[in-house]
């Protein structure tokens, strides 16, 4: 996938997302509320600004049109939007309202409270005129348009009609993330991307099972004169309903969800880029579904890059064994991303030839010591050198499929050396885990990890289980009534 030639005109409600991270240590003596000891502050574009961030992260270019106040939040927002030639700042400054700012207070990966700064003043005539001029000045640059409606004023019917008319005259597709339950205000859209609740409200009908979602989508699609509806359905995945074809769904992959903030922004950014690049609708939906899967596993308003999306697509493709096995370069990038999110990364390694309860127990214990666990497998040649010419019983790709399927494992990588020292130095985990049958002095890489500020964990093993013993019992055919003697 290459979106570098695609320019997206993003129009909508722009805001600053502010995240304040800390620890809750006590209850305030002033009121029955927790006291948050602040440790870290992050600020990033939100709303339509997050759509732009996703476009850039995926490799495209973006032009951003929206309203900001004449204030410090606007200055911070514009500073965060500086990405060289990838983003064109076409924001309109208004004297009628402040820059929208959402401040989230987070403790131990959980949002405690959110404070919003915004005006509920309807869009003023001079603001509408300024937005229309900005649209006219930039529409000729666009390969595709995204209208990001957060219900904060920019997507006034007057502005939307002006945008739709201009896009139609130039043959530019328009993707809409709706807020209004009246989809007729987005008349002429190429694709509208409601979630299940928004779709049900717009149709005035249930949108629970597949049949209800399709029926509701076809109803609102006719009202909006749209070519397609892409309904996002949380844990049920997505459903694409085109006006001239059959509905098709994409299931969500089971995962640990950290935060759904901004997932809709990721979906519409990916979908618009994919369709504008010439990708068929169904394929574009599957790419968007993978991108959404990436961002819900991150804390806060997040984006997905091409490498992460491709990795997620491989993981979703159960017919491709290689999809479960990262290259060392991919694994290193993933570890960096996890650490940037403030997550602790654990590492353990082994042959894991025939999976048994001892392996499962070790991996569960390892995952309990970290936020994300990466498992390094000896490749087939390495296993033969360690275990003999009759091993491994299962090839590397097969072992990777089995290990990746475990709830405790977040990523799988392989190494060809006799020891994992080089890959440990490449990934530099926060936590190195081995079985308690090792001493600290025997654990390869322990010195490097500890010197870098990490720690070593020796996990208790479940006694009575080993692959070698299992192979011997199988070879001896020593079974009676389904039980090993």
Contact 247, 217 (CB under 8 A): yes
Residue (of 130, 122, 190) closest to 156 by Cα position: 122
18 annotated to a ligand binding site: no
Among left, alpha and beta (phi > 0; psi -120 to 50; other), residue 454 is beta
Does the annotation flag 54 for ligand binding? no
User: For tokens 């640059």, what's the residue?
Assistant: 141
> Would you call 265 a catalytic residue per the annotation?
yes
* Cα first-last separation, the chain: 55
Neighbour tally for 473: CB within 10 Å? 13
3-class DSSP assignment, residue 310: helix
* Whole-number Å distance between alpha carbons of 40 and 21: 5
Torsion, CA 331, CA 333, CA 337, CA 339, rounded to 10: 70
Cα separation, 63 vs 8, whole angstroms: 6
Q: Which of 265, 379, 410, 430 is catalytic?
A: 265
CA-to-CA distance for 203 and 219, rounded, in angstroms?
6
The answer on whether 378 is annotated among ligand-binding residues is no
| Pairing assessment for the beta strands 191-192 and 174-177 based on DSSP bridges | parallel
| 198 labeled part of a ligand binding site | yes
Q: Which of 232, 226, 229, 214 is nearest to 291 (CA)?
A: 232
**Backbone φ and ψ of 326, nearest 5°:** -80, 150
Identify the helix (H) or strand (E) that includes residue 296.
none
Alpha-carbon distances of 291 from 86, 231, 252, 310, rounded to whole Å: 20, 15, 11, 9
Question: Within a 13 Å sphere around the CA of 12, how many CA atoms are in the beta-carbon half?
Answer: 28
Binding-site positions for ATP read 195-198
Binding residues: 195-198
Q: Which residues are known to be catalytic?
A: 265
């Amino acid at each position: 996938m290459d979106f570098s030639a695609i320019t997206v005109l993003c129009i909508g409600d722009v805001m600053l997302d502010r995240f304040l991270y800390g620890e809750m240590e006590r209850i305030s003596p002033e009121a029955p509320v927790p006291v948050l000891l602040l440790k870290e502050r992050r600020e990033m574009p939100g709303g339509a600004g997050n759509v732009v961030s996703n476009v850039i992260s995926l490799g495209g270019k973006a032009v951003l049109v929206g309203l900001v106040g004449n204030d410090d939040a606007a200055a911070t927002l514009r500073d965060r939007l500086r990405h060289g030639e990838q983003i064109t700042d076409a924001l309109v400054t208004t004297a009628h309202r402040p820059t929208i700012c959402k401040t989230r207070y987070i403790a131990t990966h959980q949002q405690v409270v959110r404070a919003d700064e915004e005006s509920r003043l309807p869009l003023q005539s001079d603001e509408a005129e300024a937005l229309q001029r900005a649209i006219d000045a930039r529409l000729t640059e666009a390969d595709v348009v995204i209208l990001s409606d957060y219900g904060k004023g920019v997507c006034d019917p007057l502005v939307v009609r002006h945008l739709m008319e201009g896009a139609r005259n130039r043959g530019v597709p328009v993707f809409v993330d709706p807020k209004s339950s009246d989809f007729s205000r987005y008349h002429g859209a190429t694709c509208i991307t409601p979630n299940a609740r928004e779709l049900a409200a717009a149709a005035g009908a249930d949108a629970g099972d597949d049949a209800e979602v399709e029926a509701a989508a076809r109803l609102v699609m006719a009202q909006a004169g749209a070519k397609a509806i892409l309904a996002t359905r949380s844990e049920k995945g997505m459903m694409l309903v085109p006006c001239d074809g059959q509905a098709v769904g994409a299931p969500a992959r089971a995962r640990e969800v950290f935060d759904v903030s901004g997932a809709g922004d990721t979906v519409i950014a990916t979908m618009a880029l994919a369709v504008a690049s010439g990708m068929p609708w169904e394929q574009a939906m599957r790419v968007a579904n993978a991108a959404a899967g990436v961002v819900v596993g991150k804390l806060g308003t997040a984006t997905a890059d091409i490498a992460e999306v491709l990795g997620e697509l491989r993981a979703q493709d159960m017919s491709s064994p290689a999809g479960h096995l990262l290259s060392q370069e991919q694994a290193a990038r993933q570890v960096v991303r996890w650490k940037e999110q403030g997550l602790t990364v654990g590492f353990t390694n082994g042959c894991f030839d025939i999976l048994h309860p001892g392996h499962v127990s070790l991996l569960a214990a390892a995952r309990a010591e970290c936020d994300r666990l990466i498992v390094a497998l000896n490749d087939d040649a390495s296993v033969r050198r360690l275990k003999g010419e009759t091993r491994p019983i299962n090839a590397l790709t097969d072992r990777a499929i089995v290990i990746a399927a475990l709830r405790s494992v977040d990523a799988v990588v392989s190494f060809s050396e006799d020891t994992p020292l080089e890959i440990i130095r490449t990934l530099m985990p926060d936590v190195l885990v081995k079985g308690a049958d090792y001493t600290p002095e025997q654990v390869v890489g322990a010195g490097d990890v500890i010197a870098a500020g990490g720690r070593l964990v020796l996990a208790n093993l479940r006694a009575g289980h080993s692959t070698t013993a299992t192979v011997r019992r199988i070879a001896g055919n020593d079974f009676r009534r389904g039980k090993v003697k």
